[in-house]
Amino acid sequence: MAKNKISQAVREEVLGRIQDSGELLAELCLELGNTFAPVGYEKAVADAVSAWYGRHDISSFQQQLVPDRSNVIARLSGDGSGKSLIFNAHLDTEISGDDYDRLMDVPDPNKVGGWREGDQLFGHTVLNDRGLMAIFMIMGKAIQEAKVPLSGDVILTSVVGETGQSPVDEYQGMTYEGKGLGSRYMVDHGIRADYALVAEATGWGMSWVECGAVYVKVTLRGRNMYTPRLIRGDNLSQHPNALVKGAEVIRALEAWAIDYEERNSYESVCGPVRPKSQVGAVRGGVPYRPNRASPVCNIYLDVRTVPGSDQDAVVQEVRSLVQEIDPSAEVECFMAKAGYEGVGVEPLSEAIAKGYDSVIGGTPPQPEVAITSMWRDTNIFNSSGIPSLTFGLGRGESSVQGTGSYDLKDLVACSQIYALTALDLCGD
């Protein structure tokens, strides 16, 4: 390996600049977190990211996918002799806009935006994923101001549509393109590198193993029967009300999900992988006419799949299960995103581990099982031949969507680890 041309003095200058930028980092987290930009309408926060780069003399541009949806690409250019590295975070938030009241446990508008209590930063938009975006933006500023002599490019990417909304029923168009829209568009339109680091909260662990996801719609049919005229069958599967059939199907799917997870779990190099499944939505009936049986019940199922699995076989497994209960049931897949295990990530993982040891001390911990069992844009890069992994700080108690917090000192430390990673990979 060629000798890294970035001196220790320059490295220390970069780390010092990041250390001195703690308050600026907190401000940026809140600025981005409090820019309202629900999924499908991310342009406002893309503009905020672009404006911040402009204020700090960092070159950037926007990739407009459609009106109101733009990626932001910033580049710290090297001399072309070394490896390049993408830092990636997503602009969209999973729960906002019209979905908020239906999906949050306790509706609270504060959870959509961000706020600060002492050195703790809160809010769903900050936690997922604009806080991590702010981390590498601050890193980019420090590298730029220190005039680091890079060999390869450091590319900072903020993308739409990572969490995604998938096309089903009346939900169609570019707002409902599913997971990974922005990163896929970016890679397909020339933004590539030797490695990619997807900035997500991982509790300081690294994962280059990511599950896929299959979304399945089950349609059950019954009869529009008036309550006084109701005649029940011998079992729930013969009930004329499609919603009652649905209850039987959901019970069967839940039992299947437990078995499916046990059959397909395995130990990966990054830790245990547990592909889970759950029913996420049910539609049927008319709330103000409960005296009429629902002639249709739709059930929407999320099934996570391990890398290399046959996703069509998973759909067929669900179909066979459901049609044992109701032979007339219709089962269709409306999204299938494959999972991948990154290949050739070792230079990146080793650089992160070295940076972690320098900043925090010791070896990065093994990520918790939920981290290795998710779908992220890491899959987009790995499927495109760009070795990629996910790495970021911890965010406290976050078992419920939108909960937890970032400690400012951890945000600073993570930015420093990102910086050392970039200097190691892109300084040779």
Which positions are annotated as active-site residues? 92, 162
Question: Which residues 6+ apart lie within 8 Å of 215 measured at CB?
Answer: 166, 168, 300, 301, 302, 303, 333, 334, 335, 336
The Cα–Cα gap between 362 and 345 comes to 20
Which two three-digit tokens encode residue 335?
A: 């999204």
Which two three-digit tokens encode residue 336?
A: 């299938």
Which two three-digit tokens encode residue 10?
A: 């320059």
Environment class of 97 (CB within 10 Å of its CB; exposed 0-12, middle 13-18, buried 19+): middle
Contact between 412 and 11 (Cβ < 8 Å): no
Residue 13: which H helix or E strand, with range? helix 8-19
Strand-strand pairing, 195-198 and 388-391: parallel
AA letter at 405? S
Q: Phi and psi of 139, rounded to 5°?
A: -55, -45
Question: Which residues 6+ apart lie within 8 Å of 289 measured at CB?
Answer: none
C-beta neighbour count of 384 within 10 angstroms: 16
Which two three-digit tokens encode residue 163?
A: 């969490």
AA letter at 298? N
Residue 85: which H helix or E strand, with range? strand 85-90
Q: Phi and psi of 382, rounded to 5°?
A: -65, -35
The Cα–Cα gap between 155 and 85 comes to 6
Q: Which of 162, 182, 57, 231 lies closest to 376, judged by CA?
A: 162
Contact between 406 and 126 (Cβ < 8 Å): yes
